Amino acid sequence: MKRLFSYRPLNTDLGILFLRLILGGLFVWHGVDALFLNYKLYLSMSKSTIGLGAHFEYHLVVISYFVCGIFIVLGFLTRLSVIPILIAMTVAFLIAHDGQKFYEKELPFVYMLTCIVVFIFGSGRFSVDRLIFKK
């Protein structure tokens, strides 16, 4: 019972795994949705945000959601994999949803912050990174 009320984490590596599975899983789902389920609909609605062309930006973001999401779930090159998603969420929050009220752009903000946390903590013990890079 003492441990439940302690300031020390119960298991940091399990917490990191859980966070990775949630973040990566959500982005894999967004990638599957945008690449396979509603591709034509979302592509027709896409707009250029940073000046690279709407279709190119759409494909860049959606493929990074899918591929980087899988890498984050597996814990493979986690810190590197979270960077494209962090950039996409920062652009979504600051540029794509500019002028909207905070509650309308809250989800990209939460994803952005979660990406920062995953970047700081890395992949943890339960990951492919540990198998590859352990000393």
List pLDDT tens digits, range 109-125.
999 999 999 999 999 99
Is 5 within the bounds of a domain?
no
Residue 135 lies in a domain: no
Q: Which of 21-25, 38-42, 78-82, 110-114 has the lowest mean pLDDT?
A: 38-42
* Cα(123)–Cα(135) distance, integer angstroms: 15
Q: What is residue 8's predicted lDDT score, i.e. its pLDDT?
A: 76
Would you state the torsion angle of the CA atoms of residues 36, 69, 14, 16, taken in this order, to the nearest 10 degrees?
A: -140
Q: Residue 39 domain-assigned?
A: yes
Q: Strand, helix or coil at 55?
A: helix
Parent domain of 71:
11-128
Q: Which of 2-16, 31-45, 105-119 has the lowest mean pLDDT?
A: 2-16
The candidate with the shortest Cα–Cα distance to 25, out of 69, 80, 79, is 69
pLDDT at 96 exceeding the cut of 90: no
Q: Is the pLDDT of residue 1 over 70?
A: no
Structural domain tally of the chain?
A: 1
Q: Is residue 133 a part of any domain in this protein?
A: no
